[in-house]
A and B are shown apart, each in its own frame.
Chain A
Amino acid sequence: MTGTRTALQARGVRFGYVDPTSSEVLLAIERIDLEIPEGQFVSLVGPSGCGKSTFLKIVNGLLSNHEGEIELLAPKAKGSAHAMVFQDAALFPWYSVLSNVSYGLMCQGMSKKEAQARAMPLIKMVGLAGFESKYPYQLSGGMQQRANLARALTVDPEILLMDEPFAALDAQTRELMQAELLRIWAQARKTVLFITHQIDEAIYLSDRVLVMSARPGRILADIPVDLPRPRELHIKRTPEFVALADRIWELIATQLHAHGQPGA
């Protein structure tokens, strides 16, 4: 799957902000350098508050006053450079599934009719056929995240940014959605940068797991995941998988201890 082009290159990315209550400058990201080849699935894991979501927001253009450089592939003619799959509750509650999924295309100025026609195959792809006219409150958490994923895929992004998309799901739905995501990823052939705090989720999904330090964030380790694909869920119980998980957990645990959060 991995191509020769670089989908995302970050050089010396550093981000600080002024805390509104204490007026101190707080450093959220110390330094991030990374390179993701086209088509790769990369996860970013780290302790809470390490700046991983902040980094994703920088890549997504939601935060602009950072230092360093971010380089992305230029979008295709009718595509987008990047698209974000947000955490829970990010579907517009006042729009149907169809309107939500076609939102990105509407933002590009496409007519409603054309946008909806182009959204339909993606709704089918994520397994929501028949739910087009439902409102988000009528969907389960897993189905909402399917719609969320379809909404990001409609703009045909060069890189898909996923910000802990399954964090609010129950354990079983989460496992199911992980398997579903791999199925969809194999079909859509996108570069993915996936943020999570769940180590097994990161390993199961990814080609590479990047481990971040506690705040201010930097990348501690870049761990390749050489497990064969396609992966079934029971791969999580193989010795290779468990060994990887132990290794990553140890790295994160040292960070938690170093910052006085034993077992946090």
Chain B
Amino acid sequence: MTLGSLARPANRSPLGLLGWRPSERLVFGLIGFVVVLGAWEAASQLKLVKKVVLSSPSLIWDAAITDISSGVIFPHIAVSGTEYVLGLGLALLVGVLLGLSIGLFRRLNYLLDPWLSALYATPTVALVPLIIIIFGIGLEAKVVVVFIESIFVITVSVMAGVRAADAVYHDVAQSFRASGWMRFRTVTLPASTPYLLTGVRLGTGRGIVGVVVAEFLTSNSGIGFYIGLNGSLLQTARVYFGIILLGILGLVLGELVRVVERRFERWRPQIN
């Protein structure tokens, strides 16, 4: 034993002995999870609510195992995943380019701003009949719904980001006679990155909404369809299973964005 380790406070976590300490974030996240599931299961077991209304964690577990082992759920996941990846990918590409252009060019902003504001405020559901008329009821229609649902938050965030750079940074660049491209690369882009990532975070969430909306209204496969179908069959446990799949997707994507954010925000003091 060295003197240094004696001076430190004792490590209270048993897992700490293995060199791993769970973060508070993880611990509190898990506590919340266990409490909610426990209360839910208890309410169901004590027959406080009807099973068809609330189901229960154990029933949902059974339904999940059934549909996973029979393979029923996988085509739905594949279909929704395809719609989501294509729609969101397109929205990211177009949204970032559009947001940067509008942010950089004042006149383009004047030209497009009214359209963006109007479309941003229009519920995508209201556009679905139109989208079906134009694109039919195939994959394209759903990709378009996801695209429209997610592109505006991305564009608007990136637009705001372009103007976020403090004027003094542009002065510094100009003072060193930076070229237009250099100024964009070293001032505009880094200053707007946090906004861009916020846009991506919001966009990933809205993309999931888009998938479900599209599949509710016109589909014969996908997780949204699976939820809708089982709802009409009063298969409550399966409805929850579908919802949980969406929740897991949201969690995974959120963590993914967080990893990217950490990579890009090393220059900012970390606030917990």
Contacts and interface: CB of A to CB of B under 8 A. Distances in A.
Interface of A: 60-62, 80, 83-84, 86-87, 89-90, 92-95, 103-104, 106-108, 135-137, 155
Given A86-B171, A106-B182, A107-B176, 6 more contacts: A86-B172, A90-B171, A92-B187, A108-B176, A135-B267, A137-B267
Interface in B183-200: 186-187, 190-191, 193
B166 interface: yes
Nearest to B266: A135
A94 B267 contact: yes
Nearest to A136: B267
Nearest to A60: B175
B8 interface: no
Contacts of B179: 107
Contacts of B171: 62, 86, 90
A93 B168 contact: no
Interface in B249-272: 266-269
Contacts of B166: 89
Contact of A137 (B173, B186, B193, B268): B268
Contacts of A136: 267
Interface string B149-179: 0000000000000000010110111111111
Given A83-B176, A89-B166, A92-B169, A107 B182 contact: yes
A87 to B, nearest CB: 8
Given A86-B172, A137-B267, A92 B178 contact: no
Nearest to A99: B186
Q: Which applies to chain A's interface (DSSP): helix, strand, loop or mixed? A: loop
A18 to B, nearest CB: 18
A62 B182 CA distance: 17
B175 A84 contact: yes
A90 B173 contact: no
B190 A92 contact: yes
Given A89-B166, A107-B182, A95 B267 contact: yes
A60 B173 CA distance: 12
A136 B191 CA distance: 14
A90 B190 CA distance: 15
A87 B172 CA distance: 11
B76 to A, nearest CB: 42
Contact of B175 (A62, A89, A137): A62
Given A103-B186, A106-B182, A107-B182, A93 B268 contact: yes
Interface string B180-223: 00100011001101000000000000000000000000000000
Contacts of A104: 176
Q: Which 10 A-B pairs have the closest CB atoms?
A: A94-B190, A107-B176, A107-B178, A104-B176, A94-B267, A135-B267, A84-B175, A137-B269, A90-B168, A93-B267
Contacts of A103: 172, 176, 186
Contacts of A80: 176
Contacts of B191: 94
B79 to A, nearest CB: 40
Given A90-B169, A92-B186, A155 B267 contact: no
A90 B175 CA distance: 12
Nearest to B178: A107
A37 B126 CA distance: 73
A86 B176 contact: no
Contacts of B172: 84, 86, 90, 92, 103
Contacts of B269: 137
20 contacts: A60-B175, A61-B174, A61-B175, A62-B171, A86-B168, A86-B175, A87-B168, A89-B166, A90-B168, A90-B169, A92-B190, A93-B267, A94-B190, A103-B172, A106-B186, A107-B176, A107-B178, A107-B182, A135-B267, A136-B267
Contact of A155 (B176, B190, B268): B176
A124 B269 CA distance: 25
Contacts of A83: 175-176
Residue among A80, A86, A107 having the largest count of chain B Cβ atoms under 10 Å: A107
Contacts of A106: 182, 186
